């Protein structure tokens, strides 16, 4: 069974710092990797997706993928209090096309 692991946190960073969120996965055949942000009481929303090894940047967000190490990360530069949320890593492909989610990492950005 496909597993996706994340540190539940909370990860606390000061405003303006870089927040680093990590995720590992068990299925070597996984092909697509997603980061969803979920504010308290709200539904998850996609913020980044990555499909090939390396870095992908979108504004303040950078996703990093290393398939050999089965590791995907999300960097948030210049963190803002509005970034405080739970970040969910999701993995797709390999044995199943149904996205499998990690338990999420709670991020707190304090002023």
Residues forming contacts to another protein in the complex (CB under 8 A) are: 8, 31-32, 34, 36, 38, 42-46, 49, 51, 86, 88, 90, 92-93, 97-101, 103-104, 106
Q: What's the 3-state SS for 84-96?
A: CEEEEEEEEECCE
Bridging pattern class, strands 85-93 and 105-110: antiparallel
| CB of 26 vs another protein, minimal distance in Å | 15
- Closer by beta carbon to another protein, 17 or else 56: 56
| CB of 35 vs another protein, minimal distance in Å | 11
- Closer by beta carbon to another protein, 8 or else 15: 8
Q: How many CB atoms lie within 10 A of CB 82?
A: 8
Q: How many CB atoms lie within 10 A of CB 89?
A: 26
| CB of 81 vs another protein, minimal distance in Å | 20
Q: What is the separation of C-alpha 91 from the centre of its chain, rounded to a whole number of angstroms?
A: 10
- Closer by beta carbon to another protein, 44 or else 64: 44
């Amino acid at each position: 069974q496909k597993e996706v692991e994340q540190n539940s946190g909370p990860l606390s960073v000061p405003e303006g710092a870089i927040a680093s969120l990590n995720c590992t996965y068990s299925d070597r055949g996984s092909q697509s990797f997603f980061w969803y942000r979920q504010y308290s009481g709200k539904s998850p929303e996609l913020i980044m997706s990555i499909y090939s090894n390396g870095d992908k940047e979108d504004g303040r967000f950078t996703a990093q993928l290393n398939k050999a190490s089965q590791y995907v990360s999300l960097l948030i530069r210049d963190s803002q209090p509005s970034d405080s949320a739970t970040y969910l890593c999701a993995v797709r492909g390999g044995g199943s096309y149904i996205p499998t989610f990690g338990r999420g990492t709670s991020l707190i950005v304090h002023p």
